[in-house]
């Protein structure tokens, strides 16, 4: 059972700080062969990917500005416990914890335009995206900045913990935060979408410092493979057999004996389409709304 004692000094306060998974994801390993390449599912997924990439290109300029968190209309003073505060929200289960969305490499919050609306329709009243610089040099720097941002979200909302949904590189940034910088004190659940937990062969194409960190067996990925005893964040890694950026697709699985991990395989969904696919959105909502087992619940103030 994971420890519930919070770290004495979160590592993201210091500049430069630099799971036991399911045996198999639902549906088993990705299928291979020519038949899978020309299947209706793959064809539909490819067409959806192309259409969304085009739409996303048009939305991209609109996502350049940072997003302000919408205050929960049911918010009450911070001297109330999280359970009591949740009673004032329209949907106590979903609204209890804010949701922060973290985009991928050379992207911005526009990739979550559908995700944000879908979660709000499902009852999550506090959903916002976090933009980081496209000139980012390494994952560690982004993780430090994300930790500070999540602290600010907690301060603004009066909640002790948040949920994080990370697409592509954003999932790796959030994982580094919770696993290596003590961010599990703030992040209740982390859902990664198409995140190269095991690296990607495409990372050998571009020799920038950040992309080199995404190569299989890189020092960063070796660091994430080291022991992480007591990490309290629940991790769900959603990956696809049609992911064009995470190669091989099984690299989207998160494998670590010390983490509470659930790997979920979706079929026929492209890398950029993961944040808009209905089954993925349903998976995100169900995961974030699921209560912790009684043995894993953290003490409330």
| Distance separating alpha carbons of residues 104 and 58, to the nearest angstrom | 17
Helix H or strand E encompassing 187:
strand 187-193
Model confidence at 11: pLDDT above 90: no
The answer to whether 285 and 99 have CB atoms below 8 angstroms apart is: no
Residue 39's pLDDT band, with cuts at 50, 70 and 90, is confident
Residue 18 lies in a domain: no
Residue 301 lies in a domain: no
Residue 151 pLDDT? 96
Model confidence at 69: pLDDT above 70: no
Residue 94's pLDDT band, with cuts at 50, 70 and 90, is low
Taking the C-alpha atoms of 36, 40, 45 and 50 in order, what is their torsion angle to the nearest 10 degrees? 110
Mean pLDDT, rounded, for 124-149? 92
The answer to whether 252 and 194 have CB atoms below 8 angstroms apart is: yes
Residue 285's pLDDT band, with cuts at 50, 70 and 90, is very high
Whichever domain contains 207, its CATH number is: 3.40.50.1820
Residue 39 DSSP SS3: coil
Residue 148 DSSP SS3: helix
The answer to whether 263 and 22 have CB atoms below 8 angstroms apart is: yes
**The pair of three-digit structure tokens given for residue 68, joined into one six-digit string:** 């302000």
∠ at Cα 96 (92, 98), nearest 5°?
A: 140
| Distance separating alpha carbons of residues 106 and 242, to the nearest angstrom | 21
Q: pTM of the prediction?
A: 0.79
Model confidence at 37: pLDDT above 90: no
Complete edge-to-edge strand list for the sheet that includes strand 234-240:
127-130, 99-102, 162-167, 187-193, 234-240, 260-266
Residue 158 lies in a domain: yes
Residue of 44, 2, 13 whose CA lies nearest to 147: 13
Residue 240 lies in a domain: yes
- Stated length of the chain: 301
Segment 173-189, tens digit of pLDDT: 999 999 999 999 999 99
Query: Phi/psi at 220 (nearest 5 deg)?
Result: -65, -45
Which one is predicted more confidently, 204 or 46? 204
∠ at Cα 191 (277, 235), nearest 5°?
A: 145
Residue 247 lies in a domain: yes
Which one is predicted more confidently, 44 or 270? 270
Residue 101 pLDDT? 97
| Distance separating alpha carbons of residues 246 and 82, to the nearest angstrom | 38
Residue 5 lies in a domain: no
Residue 84's pLDDT band, with cuts at 50, 70 and 90, is very low
Residue 27 lies in a domain: no
| Distance separating alpha carbons of residues 16 and 97, to the nearest angstrom | 29
Mean pLDDT, rounded, for 137-163? 94
Residue 181 lies in a domain: yes
Most confident of the ranges 14-23, 75-84, 127-136: 127-136
Model confidence at 59: pLDDT above 90: no
CA distances for 216 relative to 134, 185, 212, angstroms: 22, 28, 9
Domain count, the chain: 1
Domain coverage including residue 129: 32-291
Mean pLDDT, rounded, for 183-201? 97
Segment 207-251, tens digit of pLDDT: 899 999 999 999 999 999 999 999 999 999 999 999 999 999 999
């Amino acid at each position: 059972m994971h420890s519930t004692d919070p770290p004495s000094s979160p590592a993201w306060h210091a500049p430069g700080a630099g799971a036991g998974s399911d045996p198999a994801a639902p549906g088993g390993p990705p299928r291979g062969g020519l038949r899978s390449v020309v299947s209706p599912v793959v064809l539909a997924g490819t067409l959806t990917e192309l259409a969304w990439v085009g739409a996303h290109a048009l939305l991209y300029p609109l996502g350049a500005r940072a997003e302000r968190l919408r205050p929960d209309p049911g918010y009450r003073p911070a001297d109330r416990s999280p359970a009591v505060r949740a009673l004032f929200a329209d949907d106590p289960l979903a609204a209890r914890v804010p949701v922060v969305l973290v985009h991928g490499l050379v992207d911005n919050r526009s990739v979550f335009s559908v995700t944000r609306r879908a979660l709000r329709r499902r009852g999550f009243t506090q959903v916002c995206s976090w933009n980081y610089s496209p000139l980012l040099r390494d994952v560690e720097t982004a993780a430090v900045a994300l930790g500070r941002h999540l602290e600010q979200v907690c301060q603004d909302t009066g909640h002790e913990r948040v949920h994080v949904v990370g697409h592509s590189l954003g999932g790796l940034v959030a994982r580094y935060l919770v696993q290596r910088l003590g961010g599990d004190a703030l992040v209740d659940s982390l859902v990664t979408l198409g995140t190269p937990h095991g690296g990607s062969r495409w990372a050998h194409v571009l020799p920038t410092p950040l992309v080199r960190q995404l190569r299989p067996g890189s020092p960063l990925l070796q660091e994430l493979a080291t022991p992480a005893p007591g990490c309290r964040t629940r991790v769900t890694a959603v990956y696809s057999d049609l992911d064009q950026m995470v190669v091989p697709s099984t690299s989207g699985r998160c494998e670590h004996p010390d983490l509470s991990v659930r790997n979920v395989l979706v079929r026929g969904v492209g890398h950029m389409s993961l944040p808009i696919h209905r089954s993925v959105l349903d998976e995100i909502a169900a995961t974030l709304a699921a209560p912790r087992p009684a043995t894993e619940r953290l003490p409330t103030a």
